[in-house]
Structure 1
């Protein structure tokens, strides 16, 4: 799904875009998202601007695989209805989108959209996309607000390699401010996903305002795994012929997304 950007980037995101308008190589698998070592939810709440605005990057012609299925637990956890994707040439392209449903049945306000493949992500849950060489992109979220009527591009995110820990409930259900003691004493409210060699992108929609000066930024409004597409050795091609249907689906997906 491709949509024109209706509203402008936030000041922080726009500044980051201007500073890196020359682009960075897409071969850095984080695709313009800052790599951090500490747990992002430990930053809790803070004043604007939200840190870690995503940067623009230049495509390198390589294919990347985005997943909200493997490992279990990935998807969206934000309170608002949103898409995960990228902007290129002023147009937003959605890689994953949520169906417009009022909360996970039975959960009240504890999980809000809880966009998982079995609940409210309506498209394929593993998407391959080829970023064209020398074309500029920027990853982010298209926020549609709490009712789906707005359209704001939010460009904030962090990346971690091998594993990622995030809160499983939406921002509103945590104390102000979020403390390390609270995290340690409530392990059921946090989830760690692990896959060696993979990168996990935690995206922030920047929508929830705690008070007149402070905003949550816990980077779990979308959590997506990204890897380079595997290129089989010549000797294994024959063994993969039986997966022709999968290849067909991937090609069809590219045709829609590009």
Structure 2
């Protein structure tokens, strides 16, 4: 595993309208690490992810993304080197799966006028469509896709520029059980196929973490409650304290689940 830091957050505060959304946050994500960003609503997960994706500057402290310090780099240009998966992304026109994936080459929601993808870019898009299990839906228009198919198409889109960093913002939002499992299977396969890739996945639900998750950071009220190797962070004690609710954490076959603590006594 490489020691190269893909992300480095040092003593970061973020204040908006007089409200401290993040306080004293420090974090380092290295090549080949796959982090889960967890915490209750309002904990600061979205704010932190926007900084990691070069959409926000910290109020205090420093953030380095792929070796570039925010405030000293063109944020828009930096974002083209980051694979960002947002399930709320919606093309305005009825693009096909293949066309949506190709927009990842230009980092735009719609095809750029008069832009024509190269043969290599088309081949790359086809390869990613296949990797995410969508070859049979290659020419299907976006409006008729299931939520799970859209999620996998957006991951393929994020991978078009061959990023070293992948950010996934609640990618399983709105998926049924089958859709969630298909998505997680593809994320797990992706991590194995690209061993140098680093990723950060935001979720409220432990069941949505892929088996390849290596590290986790648990936020509470804008501060880091705990961070480190996943088995040291996702514990009954830490999860219960961060969410302020008695729970019991179960891990089986590389996957996590959570139960109310009372269930242990039934």
| TM-score, with structure 1 as normaliser | 0.29
Q: Which has the higher helix share?
A: 2
User: Does 1 or 2 have the higher relative contact order (CA < 8 Å, sep 6+)?
Assistant: 1
| TM-score, with structure 2 as normaliser | 0.28
| Greater gyration radius | 2
